[in-house]
Chain A
């Protein structure tokens, strides 16, 4: 049975950064991912990473912008940690080899981003996430002696000892179908969000809420699950993301009358207001009949106002995306976009060292909720979140590992149970529905009722549908009877994970009877600090349904005020 000081599940930016930090602090590390690390969805982050590195910037300003962006739901102590450590972290990555774009003096160049009071987004063209991810992977290859990589291993459950501490995981080698128990002094979940619970979504097909659901099932509380970010600029048809960098470079949003409608809701920041504000403004235009394109379901993003040379150099990826996925040359004509599910602010509740309330279990990145994003994440803060809290988790886990012996746990029973569960799915009779049909209905339900605008009736309807889909998913059948690369059976397990994420999201959205950040309740359209300046925590109740508790929002120096852009 493999045994490691630190076992990291997920190999995107948070996971890889955690692995490096733990290895550098002397721990024996294993990093496990259901896909090859460079396929992780961090690769799709385009625009950049925020850090107050400019000489006339100050991390307090970054922190304030983040607090305001969060609609005052973010925990200010955590935001202070993230923003104050950001400049050093970005410099570390530059030293590792990230090819950050330069200005004429040879220093890192910075671009404007939504909700930021000045230019503070460092970037690599519009492939920042890819550049960071690939450079971190280079570092993992460099540290191959201290970091064991389990690439294309799918985690089926977390291991806990008799005292309730997390002490490893059960996983399946996707390639061979072999099941294995991994013992670890600490487990760090770094396996991303749950975007595939929505349809459409900007997220990759692998983003299925695995870590959130596994932690929830192991008893860890989830926090801020109602806060789901819709990105303002996704291609109308496929939901593919057009980076916020486009608006950062000066692109306009236009309705069918050719008006820059952001004047109405954000007269100062215009297109660079925070994402929740822009997405809502777009949805209002569409709902009120001022949308463009077939059925008026879109909005024009006009990038032609950006100098062509600059677009080709700094927004190259979306030049190609426009051409390949919408047949539009964005340097010559506007492109049709709409809001689309993009990110979940919520996740497994952690402290600033990534610790969950379960000893030995950490979480970092989108799977976690520290909470630095609160009700709404600012663009280019997610890469920062993954790196800062990935590193801090790795460091803390390495320190904890140094002070304890390897847990002795008999994982055999759980290993057999997980293997039997998989065999049972494979053996299901071909009755009822296919996994793909249920997944599709789940995603459409979430996109209809738990999107930019929500209300009690819609959320109740969603909850009922999710309940039915849960039952159906437990009998959903698959085609693949094999063991080698049986993606079909993994898809059935992922469906279960997504159902958990959808249910906790809707339950929390029903609970929060106010409008704050990404949660806009048409039946409670105002923010209500008196009652709702608090986090909603959702845990698995004893009866198997979600149980709600509250936790306070940490306020250090910025008292809640009205949010205007």
Chain B
């Protein structure tokens, strides 16, 4: 601990993306050298540049402790909270040691580092009916609900609406209409809340919307970007599982059947059988599915994509048609995973928000956690959901 506080100030070079909407000029880069202790934040660096050199640098900020959500930016191309990014870490990930600071993506820039969150982020939040539709009658005292359920939704309650996940959502980049990670995490906050009366209606709405929960491409960008371990993609996957598993929502997006087709094929073949995927997703989860009219139509529609894939060598026609063959021991191992998961009485939901709590009971894990970088064990935001042991 003492070494953290004893480190002397160092010089850091900042390269700031500036934009003045009143100048008529294009965005430009602006460089400043600041001096701070290396464990101080990028926000403090920006504020030093603003205080000492140029007060016109536009940046939203307030709390300096990663709770108000104002200072979402990009540092060296990655979304982050400025106040939550250490200068030494930012320098280490910078090219040539110059820390590059830009406004967030997927949202229009108003000035310098300030983006229009209303036009994108807040509009999407409003899309998910972001208030509790409480079960009636309202009790005189509090609703009696389990401790676990409240801790569970508190993970999404912990979202500070900073927009970091929205900034780099790949699905939103391609489809700006995608409801997106922050708003769908917000949706889980109600879907997962036992006091809400509209779980099915909410899920039906978010499943039917072609830009809803099945529009996520599962890229993990939002999980990495989130400074508060909200795990937006994980919440989206949970929305899907509840929609499909608990409510059997057969949606226009075909999410339910597509999931059944993928999991069914992997169970049978050990790997994905691409040629069977589309027919089964549309026609039903069996070998005969390809003869149903809906699947045929879809298959025809997909021909250009398939052709492109073949021409570019992304598809091996033989494997695509006949399926992958893996050693039978491996196939058995894959199927054993399925058996184990499906034999569980309840769906297993790993809640990252309280992950790490088991450590007291397992002395080995405690010893490991107290190693060189002890403290990383509390909640690792990069652990994909479902990888619990």
**A residues touching B (Cβ–Cβ < 8 Å)?**
35-36, 38-41, 43-44, 53, 91, 94-97, 99-109, 124-125, 127, 130-131, 134-135, 138-139, 141-142, 151, 175, 204-206, 236-238, 240-241, 293-294, 307-309, 312-313, 316-317, 319-321, 323-329, 331-333, 335-336, 434-437, 440, 478-488, 491
Contact = CB atoms under 8 A, between A and B. Distances in A.
Given A130-B160, A316-B378, A323-B378, 12 more contacts: A41-B63, A91-B140, A99-B150, A102-B145, A103-B147, A130-B158, A204-B64, A294-B2, A316-B379, A320-B378, A324-B66, A437-B51
Given A102-B145, A329-B375, A141 B131 contact: yes
A105 B22 contact: no
Contacts of A326: 1, 4
The B contact surface, by secondary structure, is: loop
Given A44-B65, A127-B158, A332 B56 contact: no
Given A105-B144, A316-B353, A483-B22, A336 B1 contact: yes
B131 A100 contact: no
A41 B68 contact: yes
Interface string B124-156: 011000111010001111111111001101100
A430 B1 CA distance: 43
B150 A319 contact: no
Contacts of B147: 101-104, 106, 109
Contacts of A104: 147
B306 interface: no
B94 interface: no
30 contacts: A36-B70, A41-B63, A44-B63, A94-B143, A95-B143, A96-B131, A97-B190, A100-B150, A101-B151, A101-B154, A105-B144, A125-B158, A127-B157, A139-B131, A204-B64, A205-B64, A206-B62, A237-B5, A294-B5, A308-B359, A316-B378, A316-B379, A320-B66, A323-B375, A324-B86, A329-B374, A479-B54, A482-B111, A485-B111, A486-B56
Contact of B67 (A43, A125, A142, A151): A43
A106 B144 contact: yes
B5 to A, nearest CB: 6
Contacts of A95: 134, 138-139, 142-143
Contacts of A319: 378
Nearest to A237: B5
B161 interface: yes
Interface residues of B, number: 75
B143 to A, nearest CB: 7
A107 B144 CA distance: 6
B370 interface: yes
Contacts of B84: 324
B68 to A, nearest CB: 5
Contact of A91 (B141, B146, B157): B141
A106 B157 contact: no
A25 to B, nearest CB: 19
Contacts of A321: 65-66
Contact of A35 (B2, B70, B158, B193): B70
Interface string B105-139: 00000111010011000000110001110100011
Contacts of B67: 43-44, 127, 130, 317
B356 interface: yes
Contact of B370 (A53, A294, A332, A478): A332
Contacts of A35: 60, 62, 70
B61 interface: yes
B58 interface: yes
Contacts of B58: 485, 487
A64 B364 CA distance: 49
A328 B61 CA distance: 25
Contacts of A130: 67, 157-158, 160
Interface string B345-389: 000000001101101100000000010001100110000000000
Most buried by A among B64, B84, B140, B193: B64
B69 interface: yes
Contacts of B143: 94-95
A204 B66 CA distance: 11
Contacts of B134: 95, 97
B56 A479 contact: yes
Interface string B32-60: 00000001000000000011101110111
Nearest to A96: B132
Contacts of B126: 141
A124 B130 CA distance: 19
B145 A124 contact: no
